[in-house]
Amino acid sequence: MNLLNQMMILVIFLGVAFPGSSQTPTPKPCLERGGRIEKSNLRSSLLKLPMEYRVYLPPCYEEQTDQRYPVLYLFHGSNNNDDQWDRLGVDETANRMIAAGEIPPFIIVMPRDRNWSDPPVDLFGRVIIEELIPLIDRAYRTLPSREERSVGGLSRGAGWAVNLGLSHPELFGALGAHSLPVFWSDIGNIRVWLAKIPASDLPRIYLDIGDHDRPPIMASAVWFEKLLTQLGVPHEWYLFPGYHDESYWSRHLDQYLRWYSANW
């Protein structure tokens, strides 16, 4: 038996495949277990009550201690709290897509807004920018750059995503607004914010809404989309079948997470 045949037998015996073989690696146990959600709160002098928030940590976060992760901030809608995206299944969807290799692992932060006023009366956005983002970057292994940080929301939370994504483009590389009602207090500001952002620093923008959404919300979302078109701001715009409800948003979780993480 020549030396080459002896080496091939040894490789097969050890269970090692040559490059290009059809052998598939054994999935890591931590990848199979999926990620987890932590609950915490932030005490701020700007708020009467602590800001509750949830943090989704992706699969293998504890095991791969040298890895750092992008962060997605997701805001809930009116009359809901920090459990809404969790209830919709964002963590289960992320686990499945990460395990399948469809999206990279990343952290998701879901804070609670207790006030239903518009900004700047509601200080939720200010606390996000000044206190929560720095806290998350200290407490977790994040990649603390705008390119690795996205913001999104549904319903009222979409209004916050537009508000923070456009007023702080230095912090967010992408913003998603799902079933968007623009804050009345932002209508006069949006054009000003956009004019101040250099074309190279514009965040990626994703807009979607159900074709049977409530007329005032539909009008608001269409107004914003037309303004972006008029100003030549690149964006994605989708009108899907559906209503202003959780069944609509849950049906599109795969698409949302795939879009947010596209550049990661």
Kindly list the distances between the CA atom of residue 132 and the CA atoms of 99, 124, 194, 216, in Å, as whole numbers in the listed order. 29, 10, 24, 31
**What is residue 186's DSSP assignment?**
G
- pLDDT for residue 45: 97
Place of tokens 């949302």: 256
Residue 164's nearest CA partner among 140, 194, 212, 129 is 129
- Do the domain assignments include residue 1? no
At residue 261, φ and ψ (nearest 5 deg) are -95, 10
**From CA 121, how far away is CA 126, in angstroms rounded?**
10
Domain count, the chain: 1
pLDDT at 3: 43
Task: Inform me whether the pLDDT recorded for 87 exceeds 50.
Answer: yes
Q: Dihedral sign, CA of 211, 250, 180, 199?
A: negative
Quick one: DSSP state of residue 69?
B
Q: Is the pLDDT assigned to residue 6 strictly greater than 70?
A: no
pTM: 0.90
Enter the tokens of residue 229.
């078109």
Strand 71-75 with 107-111, pairing: parallel
Whether 125 is in a domain gets the answer: yes
Beta bridge mates, 111: 53
Q: Residue 234 sits in which domain range?
A: 26-260
**pLDDT beyond 80 at 116:** yes
CATH code at position 138: 3.40.50.1820
Assigned domain for 77 exists? yes
How many Å apart are CA 150 and CA 241, to the nearest integer? 26
Mean pLDDT in the chain? 92
